[in-house]
A and B are shown apart, each in its own frame.
Chain A
Amino acid sequence: MSTLIEASTDLALRANDLRVATTLGQEILHGVSFTLQRGRMLALVGESGSGKTTAGLACLGYFRTGLEHTGGTIELSDGTDLLALTDAGRRGLRGGSISYVPQDPALSLNPAMRIGTQIMEVLRVHGYGASEAERRERLADVLTDVGLPNDAAYQRRWPHELSGGQQQRVGIAMAFAFRPEVMVMDEPTTGLDVTTQALVLQTIHQLVTAHNVAGLYITHDLAVVSEVADEVAVMLSGRIVEQGPSDRVLHDPVHSYTRKLLNAVPDLAGRHHIGEVEAVTGALPIISRERAASARVATPEVAGTLLSVRDLRLSYGKNPVLNGIDLELGRGESLMLLGESGSGKTTAARCIAGLNGNFTGTVSLAGQTLAPGTRQRSAEERHRIQYVFQSPLSSLNPRRTIGESVEVPLHMSGSFNRKQRRALVLEALDQVQLAASFIDRRPGQLSGGERQRAAIARALVNAPSVLVCDEVTSALDVSVQASIIDLLRTLQVETGMAMVFVTHNIALARHISQRLAVLHAGRIVDLGTTDAVLENPQHSYTRELLTHVPTL
Chain B
Amino acid sequence: MVSVNPITSGISKLYQSCFVKPFVKLSECSPMKAGYGSYRLNNRRIIDGISIASIILKDGVGCYMYVNQSLNNKSIPDDKRKFVAALDLTNGGLMILAQILMHMTISNKLIQSKMFNRILGKKFDRNTSKMIYAILKNTDKYKNVSQRAVNEALNKYKGEVCDAFGSLTSLIAATTVGKRIIVPFIATPLAGIVEKKMNKNTNDNCVDSETKNTYDPSKHCNPKDNKHKNVKAGHSENVSGTSSGNLLNSFKKI
Q: Do these two chains really belong together in a complex?
A: no
Binding site for B on A (CB under 8 A): none
Binding site for A on B (CB under 8 A): none
